[in-house]
Structure 1
Amino acid sequence: MLVNSKEFTINGLRYIIRSAMEKDAKSLSEVRVQIDGETENLDREQGEAYIDESGFKQIIKEDSERVNNLFLVVEVHDRIVGFCRCEGNQLKRSSHKVDFGVCVLKDFWGYGIGKKFLEESIGWADENGIKKISLKVLETNNKAIKLYQKYGFEVEGSLKKDKLLSDGNFYNTILMGRLNPS
């Protein structure tokens, strides 16, 4: 599904959020590897489950053809610095819901990009009859958990000792969901 380009300025930073296009594939591959190396809040370590340019082209193509998928990017000075996806399911019993994921380069944290991605995704989901948005978040990512709760997400459970981080300790993954209020 395509979303119109929208421009935002927060804390002096101007950025654009828009639907991903095939021309973004190379940049997305590079950005994903960099982001994975900047935070332990994501599932992967740097370089794991690598998606190359052709892999991103395929994802973008499929997402643009499916009514219950959304792929957004954020640009700062014509450079992609993050992305988010809502990935639906083609099975009838699960076609009413999507899984949300987001990542932004660390240098661009604090500019409301994650919040805007979330707002755009929720608006898209509600407008397109998606009944539920699900996500997973590391238990230590309190800022993200509070943001999700502010937008109507509720804790639905946790996966105990789900992630082994670089400090050698295991951490829980929190499962959250937001039901479409209509």
Structure 2
Amino acid sequence: MHYYNQVFLRDGTPCTLRNPTAEDALALLNFLKITSGETDHLMRYPDEIQIRVEEERRFLQEMASKPNAVMIAAVLNGQIVGNAGLTPVAECDKCRHRASFGMSVLQDDWGRGIGTLLTKAILESAQEAGYRQIELEVLADNHRALALYEQFGFKIFGTNEHAFYFRNGTYRASHLMSLTI
């Protein structure tokens, strides 16, 4: 699914929202490793991102060809500073109306409106793809993300008390959220 839009951040800085291409594979992998190391709110540790650049290139090419999935990168001055994805929950008829949404933004760029812009872009793409329900999972103590998703109308429909198990032996809860569009 194709997406491209020139937008402005809260401070007036121009930002490009676009599909990452195969040429972005290395930059996107580096982005994922950085964001995974900046916060515990993401699913993986940086050392768990073992995808080779060629595998990422193929994945990005595959994503670009799907009519019901999209990946959107936020690009500032040629650098990926945010990334969001929308994928089907399942390909079967009974679940075809549901999509899964995930997002991350470089910590240095938190509070600039990138998450808001990416969420808007994902919801536009979801409507274009014909989805009726968008789902996500967010750590229960990620208050910034919760506030953002609630601003868009997402509602908590469940809590997984032991969603994340950390290497230090602790657990963290996550909220399951959905939005009907």
TM class, shorter-chain normalised? over 0.9
Q: What residue in structure 1 maps to residue 137 of structure 2? A: 136
1:163 to 2:164 alignment: yes
Task: Give the SS at the match of 2:153.
Answer: coil
- CA-to-aligned-CA distance 1:113-149 (integer Å, 9 cap, x gap): 0111001111111232111110000000011111111
Q: 1:26 is aligned with what amino acid?
A: L
TM-score, scaled relative to structure 2: 0.92
> Pairwise CA RMSD of aligned residues?
1.6
Percent same amino acid among aligned pairs? 26
Give the number of aligned pairs: 180
- CA-to-aligned-CA distance 1:158-181 (integer Å, 9 cap, x gap): 11122134664311111000111x
CA shift, 1:12, in A, is: 4.6
Task: Give the SS at the match of 1:33.
Answer: helix
Q: What residue in structure 2 maps to residue 24 of structure 1? A: 24
Q: 1:129 is aligned with what amino acid?
A: G
Alignment of 1:91-106 (within 5 A): 91-106=92-107
Q: What residue in structure 2 maps to residue 65 of structure 1? A: 65
* Superposition misfits of 4+ residues, deviation over 4 angstroms: none
Alignment of 1:103-122 (within 5 A): 103-122=104-123
Q: 1:155 is aligned with what amino acid?
A: I
Mind listing any 5+ residue stretches in structure 2 that lack a counterpart?
Answer: none
Mind listing any 5+ residue stretches in structure 1 that lack a counterpart?
Answer: none
Question: Is the contact made by 1:98 and 1:132 (CA closer than 8 Å) also made in structure 2?
Answer: yes
Q: 2:117 is aligned with what amino acid?
A: K
